Structure 1
Amino acid sequence: MTHDQTTRKAQPGHPTPPDGDSLRRRLLLALGMTLVLWMILAPWLAPGPTELSYTRFKQAVSQGQVAEVTFERDRISGRFADPLPDASAGSKAEGDKTTASAGSQDAGSVVSAGESFETTMPQVQDAELLPLLEKRDVEIAANPAESGVWTRVLATLLPWAILLGGFLYLSQRMQKRMMGGGQDGGLFSFGKTKAKRFRHQDSNLGMDDVAGLENAKADLQEIVDHLADPERFRRLGATMPKGVLLIGPPGTGKTLLARAVAGEAGVPFFSLSGSEFVEMFVGVGASRVRDLFEAAKKESPCVIFIDEIDAVGRSRGAGLGGGHDEREQTLNQILSEMDGFTPTEDVVVLAATNRPDVLDQALLRPGRFDRKVHIDLPDRKARKAILEVHARKIRLDADVDLGKVAVRTVGFSGADLENLINEAALLAGRERRDAVDMALLESARDKIVLGAERDQGMGDEERRLVAYHESGHALMAWMLPAADRLDKISIVPRGRALGVTQQLPEEDRRTYKESYLRDRIGVMLGGRVAEQTVFGEVTTGAESDLAQATELARRMVSRWGMSRRIGPVAFRRSDEPVFLGREMGQSQDFSDATARLIDEEIRQLVEDIEGRARRLMEEHRDRLERLAEAVLEDESLDRSAIDAILGEPPRSGEIRRIAGAGG
């Protein structure tokens, strides 16, 4: 090759000439395709036999021009005699009235010596044909009515060819996916891990992108530092925790926090759910665990995140629901893999659950999950930060105060706050607004907490009954000093409720005083007491109120020591689900006499609170009437409207005077 050719080959503007091997491969490929095409088209291009009418066929037989015939169903094929006999002689011998020259001309127009022909037999049986053929010494043959040999071979081999082709296709697809790094699919990947693998380049999520959760982020910062620079800790002799268990209610950001750890450290991230390990066949889950940890070790340092680990990590041998061989073998394999980590394998396992009480103790011991990070519901400051993060992509109106929204969303998780912002945006789109204002955020909050408004026509009597019921709740919340602040009353049907009364806690509570619990029960019973005071009878509308009040009173008496007769003793009933099998094997740890005493104390507590609420309701009957009439007129009242109707709440001393000794 000359210098000019080399230069021209290197330039991108000139095509690269093919080498000799490539040219030969192309020629062989073209030749093979031509041969295959010829084999396919040859039967169609070759000249076929002459098609005769049945009349011409019988004429040819009568004139001795047919040498042999073959019968196959309703088709007759054959070959003309070679050489053709004299047509005139045949005609004279037959005594035909047609002249010899006419017969010769007629037959010669359609036949030639040695030529093959075909014809179709008529539907009517021709009894003269076989004697005529035998008389003219025509060789007769017949093929069976079944398909030919090639048809039978094709029918036999075609299903096997389809199965073989499908097998080869799946195998090739599996090989391509495995070579491409995929972990899902393929005929032989049934025991492979289904974990989704993320590179650190795929996500720019870091700790700063996680709003709130300051305590949890501080606990995980050491994991981030160790993954980012493991040698710094090795020089000090420290080893990274093998596992970190994230414990918290649903929607608090456990998965988001795990991804932030991997993104902050800049390491690969494997994510899957605990249920993806367990299959119907025993041993599949353990195989997937081995494959997951083998892949993680090759990518170390990295993070493995197992969401809902309680699906596979439940206590072994727990009785009903616990003796599942596949699940237990999978758990055993997880324990073995985590215990087999060496200090040089910088792989950390992050797992999330909201049921730590059902996990196996071997999984929780140091050496497996060395660290447990508790993630609670966000406080007011954290809720505001979370709202600001989710509101970045939403066009907000100037009147929106996310601080006020954070105050009104006590008990919301991070997922609930994200849903709140999204619901407000959907409402804005439905009403064709240009931006989300404060009123839409309030409507979205009511929709999440209370349910969507529904059209359910109520009669005047039922509507008046609901108005007094909700006004009774509101009056008790306004009067009782330890109750949560009254926020809103509505008799617009929402969800399954015909009316609602909202209270808004002034601060996040984690412990509760006895006075607060008593006043809370008083608010629950306020609707029933209002019905008795105004209508002289009760209705079924207080069913949910009674259930909640009874359960709260039971906890006060039997678990929190708030009964003088029971004393500072806890008689806790098992709250564990039956499917774990534990409560079925546990006997009651208190006598029947104590159970009877607990029931009496619960009844006495609820009756005392109800009597106190009734005395307060009768004393302030005028306020109840004014509030109910306003609710009937406007259907919904906010805090300012309620304060304008009820005025200043009475002092605690006045409430005690009205309630009497029952308070």
Structure 2
Amino acid sequence: MFTLYKLQTALRKTTVRAALLVLTLSLAVLLGLRADVPQDPSPILRTQDIAQITALPAKRAQLEYLLIAAPQSEAPRYVFKLKNDNKLYVVKVPGTTHISLEREVLLRNNLPYAIARDDYLASHKAVMQDDDSSLLARAGAFVVRHLLDILLVILALFLLKNGLPGMGVNATVLTPDQLGGSMDDLIGMEDIKQEVLHLEDMIRNRDLYKEHDIDKPFNVMLTGPAGTGKTKLAGYLAKRLDIPLIQASGSALESGYIGGGSKALHALHRKACARGKCIIFLDEAQGLFMPRGRGEKKWEDDTANTLLGLLDGVRSDKGEGVIWVVASNFDDASTRMDEAMLRRFSVKINFRLPNKSERRELLRSFLARKADGCVDWNDLNLDHVAEITANLSPAVLQTVVERASMLSIQEKQVINTDLMFRAFERATIGLTDRATTAEKTRQRERVALHELGHFFMQIDPWLRQGLSLAEVKERSPLLKISTESVSKLGALGYVLSAADDVALRTLEELERDVIQLYGGVAAEELFYGARGISVGSQNDIEKATSMLDLMVNKLSMYSRSKIDHSQFKDQEADLGQVAAKADELYSYTLTAIADYREQIAELKGVLMDQYVLSKDAIFALLEQQQQRAQAEALC
């Protein structure tokens, strides 16, 4: 099938261009020879004197022939010849005058005339020319007549050379003096800094590495979650090397036209080569790492194939100083990637989320940039804020600090621990609203019971171990329980807990997570019966199902044969195992939560009145309940 991309590719070949040139010249010569008709040598007398026409009736006997050339044009020509006169008379008249002359002179006097045929005009080209028609004037007239055709040809040639609109890529060229920041802005991340410094040494001392037979292009692959500093690191590297940075989005390479992504990559490479030493930074380029050959159409892999060639540096030494830095939010450990593409990157730097100490230093750095008096350092517990902001990237942490500043301005108070906590809540959960559920007492009661069910199943293991409430409070990640609606989550309430930095969880911990998720629906069944549970537990059940599938099918945690059952087609037996384990864990949840019926019923009323209960408030109420129970037991 013919495509514009195939035509562009063919026109890049010298042989094709030479063949087109020869063909064009041949056609021009052929047309020129065909147009070379012998001309009448008779002298021509040109005039615009209409009297020559009005006098023809008196010369009827001497008139040999009378022709009208181009009668429909703006300037028809009357061509006549007299007997015994070798001259050819050409009278040029205006188009409006021609109509009157034809009616009043020719037709009224019955003068014989005819319309000049094409073969006559071909042998009498001079008839249609004026006395003052120079070569330049004729060329100008030709241009005017064919202006639209010429513009269309020029546009077609331009599109063939430069591509259709949208086929280019928006790339930003930044010189070292335009790049801000430094490596010191990367708080913590010492392992990543060392990798970058090693890369810098490799680039600066290429001759030394050549002695060790390391002469490949230093292509760099940056992977890791969004907001961890991959883009900034590329800028820092360019600034340290004192070379320009060309930044483009890998997801914006494709233009919708065949070959658009490939053309954009070549354009980036040419732009970088023109600057000698340069870094090309492709951000959000995870789509280029996907395995090739998945699509049915051959051209779908053109962009990836082009990048492979450019990364190899096989196009001579012209791009020797070009360093490709490609960033992706996924890595080869979590996503299947093209093996050939991965081999092209001699340096791979994997970014991670900051740990607790790094989060504390990041928060301190962001807050220290504010003017004096904006932060109450004496009433700011950064360790506590760093603890509740687990699994947040530096970019999100900066958003939390910015949100704290907004709240500080709106409420006219300095930034402290409480304000940072509310900023974290606003940045991660979104806006909360009491008006949505203020008049829905029964729904708020259900929501309160549901959220308290989650909380009690969270602390249930520690209470059954016999730990004191103070010890349970210290271990509990709870931050607050709320019956305010959250539009972002589509929920009428929520339990906000601090996350854990450690992602490696055991079977026992996973089962506790499932039981905690079941706590909400179990509390509803405890108070309203099996037929009184609501759809509010949909999200909890979806998460629990996913975790059970991981435990039973993918990790075979309940079987001695450690295989991934999800890779097999027959899922009926596996579904039965998941259902059986779900029934076991939910039955335990329902039994366990019955032991806290009185506490839940009492806390429900307080939660409905106050809408929100903090961790301190909840454990204070539990302490009061425990003291009353002990006093009643003594009586």
- TM bucket, shorter chain: 0.5 to 0.7
In structure 2, distance between residues paired with 1:615 and 1:191: 64
User: Residue 375 of structure 2 aligns to a residue in which SS?
Assistant: coil
Q: What's the C-alpha RMSD, in Å, of the aligned pairs? A: 3.5
Letter in 1 for 2:459: W
C-alpha displacement of 1:452: 0.7
The normalised TM-score by structure 1 is 0.62
| Alignment match, 2:484 | 492
C-alpha displacement of 1:535: 2.1
Decide whether aligned partners of structure 1 residues 276 and 619 sit closer, same or farther in structure 2, where only a CA change above 3 A counts.
closer
Letter in 2 for 1:477: Q
Asked if 2 retains the 8 angstrom alpha-carbon contact of 1:283 and 1:329, the reply is yes
Asked if 2 retains the 8 angstrom alpha-carbon contact of 1:281 and 1:326, the reply is no
C-alpha displacement of 1:510: 2.1
Letter in 1 for 2:320: E
Asked if 1 retains the 8 angstrom alpha-carbon contact of 2:367 and 2:375, the reply is no
User: Residue 246 of structure 2 aligns to a residue in which SS?
Assistant: strand
C-alpha displacement of 1:298: 3.8
In structure 2, distance between residues paired with 1:158 and 1:548: 73
C-alpha displacement of 1:278: 1.9
| Cα deviation digits, residues 266-308 of structure 1 (max 9, x gap) | 2211111113332233334323322322332343432211112
| Alignment match, 1:84 | none
Decide whether aligned partners of structure 1 residues 480 and 325 sit closer, same or farther in structure 2, where only a CA change above 3 A counts.
same
| Alignment match, 1:469 | 450
In structure 2, distance between residues paired with 1:188 and 1:543: 49
Does residue 351 (structure 1) correspond to residue 326 (structure 2)? The answer is yes
The equivalent position to 1:363 in structure 2, one of 315, 318, 341, is 341
Does residue 265 (structure 1) correspond to residue 246 (structure 2)? The answer is no
| Cα deviation digits, residues 128-160 of structure 1 (max 9, x gap) | xxxxxxxxxxxxxxxxxxxxxxxxx99x96996
In structure 2, distance between residues paired with 1:477 and 1:499: 17
> Structure 1 unaligned runs (5+)?
1-152, 172-185, 574-587, 651-663
In structure 2, distance between residues paired with 1:649 and 1:260: 58
| Alignment match, 1:548 | 543
| Cα deviation digits, residues 526-583 of structure 1 (max 9, x gap) | 11111121222312211111111111111110112222xx43333353xxxxxxxxxx
Asked if 2 retains the 8 angstrom alpha-carbon contact of 1:223 and 1:240, the reply is no
Following superposition of structure 1 onto structure 2, how do residues 142-221 of structure 1 map, counting pairs within 5 Å?
A: 194-221=170-197
Decide whether aligned partners of structure 1 residues 317 and 533 sit closer, same or farther in structure 2, where only a CA change above 3 A counts.
same
In structure 2, distance between residues paired with 1:470 and 1:191: 53
The normalised TM-score by structure 2 is 0.65
C-alpha displacement of 1:445: 1.2
C-alpha displacement of 1:589: 2.3
Which sits farther off after the overlay, 223-232 or 404-413? 223-232
| Alignment match, 2:562 | 569
| Cα deviation digits, residues 466-519 of structure 1 (max 9, x gap) | 1111111111112223995322111111221111112224x4112101111111
The equivalent position to 1:309 in structure 2, one of 270, 285, 293, is 285
The equivalent position to 1:441 in structure 2, one of 394, 407, 420, is 420
Larger radius of gyration: 1
The equivalent position to 2:265 in structure 1, one of 289, 298, 301, is 289
Decide whether aligned partners of structure 1 residues 206 and 649 sit closer, same or farther in structure 2, where only a CA change above 3 A counts.
farther
Decide whether aligned partners of structure 1 residues 462 and 216 sit closer, same or farther in structure 2, where only a CA change above 3 A counts.
same
In structure 2, distance between residues paired with 1:473 and 1:648: 21
| Alignment match, 1:175 | none
| Cα deviation digits, residues 235-288 of structure 1 (max 9, x gap) | 665446531211112222211121121122222111111133322333343233
User: Residue 597 of structure 1 aligns to a residue in which SS?
Assistant: helix
Which sits farther off after the overlay, 355-364 or 329-338? 355-364
The equivalent position to 1:509 in structure 2, one of 472, 492, 502, is 502
| Cα deviation digits, residues 599-650 of structure 1 (max 9, x gap) | 2221222222222222222222222122212212221111111111224999
| Alignment match, 2:55 | none
In structure 1, distance between residues paired with 2:621 and 2:340: 61
Number of paired residues? 458
Asked if 1 retains the 8 angstrom alpha-carbon contact of 2:522 and 2:586, the reply is yes
| Cα deviation digits, residues 76-101 of structure 1 (max 9, x gap) | xxxxxxxxxxxxxxxxxxxxxxxxxx
C-alpha displacement of 1:309: 1.7
User: Residue 480 of structure 1 aligns to a residue in which SS?
Assistant: helix
Letter in 2 for 1:293: H
| Alignment match, 1:618 | 594
Letter in 2 for 1:205: G
Following superposition of structure 1 onto structure 2, how do residues 85-104 of structure 1 map, counting pairs within 5 Å?
A: none
Letter in 2 for 1:402: L
> Structure 2 unaligned runs (5+)?
1-139, 466-474, 627-635
Letter in 2 for 1:352: A
User: Residue 242 of structure 1 aligns to a residue in which SS?
Assistant: coil
Decide whether aligned partners of structure 1 residues 261 and 459 sit closer, same or farther in structure 2, where only a CA change above 3 A counts.
same
Decide whether aligned partners of structure 1 residues 188 and 469 sit closer, same or farther in structure 2, where only a CA change above 3 A counts.
closer
Asked if 1 retains the 8 angstrom alpha-carbon contact of 2:223 and 2:327, the reply is yes
Which sits farther off after the overlay, 482-491 or 382-391? 482-491
| Cα deviation digits, residues 34-91 of structure 1 (max 9, x gap) | xxxxxxxxxxxxxxxxxxxxxxxxxxxxxxxxxxxxxxxxxxxxxxxxxxxxxxxxxx
